[in-house]
């Protein structure tokens, strides 16, 4: 699987990449396109990120036939910022900052889904930078820039200090609403019809397939399928910390209510009541559709099953799992973005 993108980005004074913006990444290239690129940049296989100059851009634009790439080459020519061509022959773990940024762009452009691309060891390749109104700034160079800006009578706005930028400065998917753009990282996947409200958060390599209402947290690696509502302050367990290695998916037409959450994958038409967090070790009393006791179980034994209603008995405090008699239905008017 070849992936290709031409981008424009930022380097620090030492010549190290801080970030890259790829307007139109592509995947599944045909061999003819790769061959035409190789004639200009001497590409002989593997995953590479090659710095471009205007002469190389002109030659590439005259040689290749891919419209999207040709359009991007023409658009960035003459840039005062560094330009790069990144070509991935295989989905091996990234080895450079431009490679990481390409993979994050592929996710947010919906060209791959979460957990479908290798992001191993990406943290060591993403520098921690100050994100300002003029873009990424190396932290070692920030103070000098702040002083110079003050001398000009202005204040440099630093909106974040992080390895990841907000998605909307790089990719704005079609058919979505994002109330607070800083809460959606580059590398998030938002399907058509997804709404992320002000307190919603979507991490990289995670997302909602759409349509969805997201008022809670989608952690790294988590996938929310269509028709599911993640209520206010609800959360999902990711795989970044705590040694977790279970990939959490929440199926279709589910409701994780306000302040609730799950550390197990759910099937379709499941509901977790407000304030209840289900962990793999949560002891659950399983009831049949007539509310008759069946057995006591650890929640992990119920993973991936459909039509489950998780509630806490208000009299005994016991967590119960009942048959979910009716799936939720999202308000269609909330997802009519076009």
CA 281 and chain centroid, separation: 28
CB 20 within 8 A of CB 31: no
Instruction: Provide the greatest CA pair distance for the chain.
Output: 76
Q: Give, in order, the Cα–Cα distances in Å from 18 to each of 21, 97, 139.
A: 11, 7, 10
CA 144 and chain centroid, separation: 33
Q: Which of 167, 169, 160 shows the shortest CA–CA distance to 184?
A: 167
Q: Which of 156, 142, 141 shows the shortest CA–CA distance to 14?
A: 141
Spell 204-233 as b/e; 16+ CB within 10 A means b: bbbbbbbbbbbbbbbbbbbbbbbbbbbbeb
- Catalytic site residue from 89, 99, 140, 215: 215
Whether 301 sits among the annotated catalytic residues: the reply is no
Tell me the DSSP string of 272-311.
E-TT-EE-TT-EEEEE-TT--EEEEEEGGGGTT-SSEEEE
What are the residues facing 85 on neighbouring strands? 6, 50
d(CA 53, CA 13) in angstroms, rounded, equals: 18
Catalytic positions: 215
């Amino acid at each position: 699987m070849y992936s290709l993108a031409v981008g424009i980005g930022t380097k620090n004074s030492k010549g190290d990449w801080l970030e890259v913006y790829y307007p139109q990444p592509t995947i599944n290239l045909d061999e003819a396109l790769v061959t035409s690129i190789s004639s200009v940049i001497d590409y002989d296989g593997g995953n590479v990120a090659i710095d471009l100059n205007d002469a190389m851009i002109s030659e590439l634009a005259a040689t290749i036939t891919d419209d999207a790439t040709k359009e991007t080459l023409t658009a960035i020519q003459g840039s005062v910022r560094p330009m790069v061509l990144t070509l991935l022959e295989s989905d091996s773990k990234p080895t450079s900052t431009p490679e990481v940024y390409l993979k994050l762009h592929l996710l947010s452009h919906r060209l791959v889904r979460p957990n479908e691309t290798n992001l191993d060891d990406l943290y060591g390749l993403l520098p921690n930078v100050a994100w300002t109104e003029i873009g990424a700034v190396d932290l070692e160079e920030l103070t000098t820039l702040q002083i110079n800006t003050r001398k000009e009578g202005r204040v440099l706005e630093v909106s974040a200090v992080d390895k990841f930028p907000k998605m909307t400065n790089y990719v704005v998917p079609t058919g979505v609403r994002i109330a607070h753009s800083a809460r959606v990282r580059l590398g998030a996947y938002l399907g058509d019809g997804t709404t992320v409200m002000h307190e919603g958060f979507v991490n990289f390599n995670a997302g909602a397939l759409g349509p969805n209402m997201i008022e809670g947290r989608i952690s790294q690696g988590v996938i929310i399928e269509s028709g599911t509502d993640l209520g206010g302050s609800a959360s999902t367990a990711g795989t970044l910390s705590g040694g977790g290695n279970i990939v959490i998916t929440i199926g279709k037409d589910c409701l994780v209510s306000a302040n609730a959450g799950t550390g197990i994958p759910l099937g379709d038409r499941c509901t977790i009541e407000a304030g209840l967090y289900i962990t793999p070790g949560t002891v659950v009393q399983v009831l049949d559709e007539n509310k008759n006791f069946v057995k006591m179980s650890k929640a992990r034994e119920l993973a991936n099953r459909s039509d489950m209603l998780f509630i806490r008995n208000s009299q005994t405090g016991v967590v119960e799992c009942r048959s979910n008699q009716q799936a939720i239905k999202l308000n269609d008017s909330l997802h009519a973005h076009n």
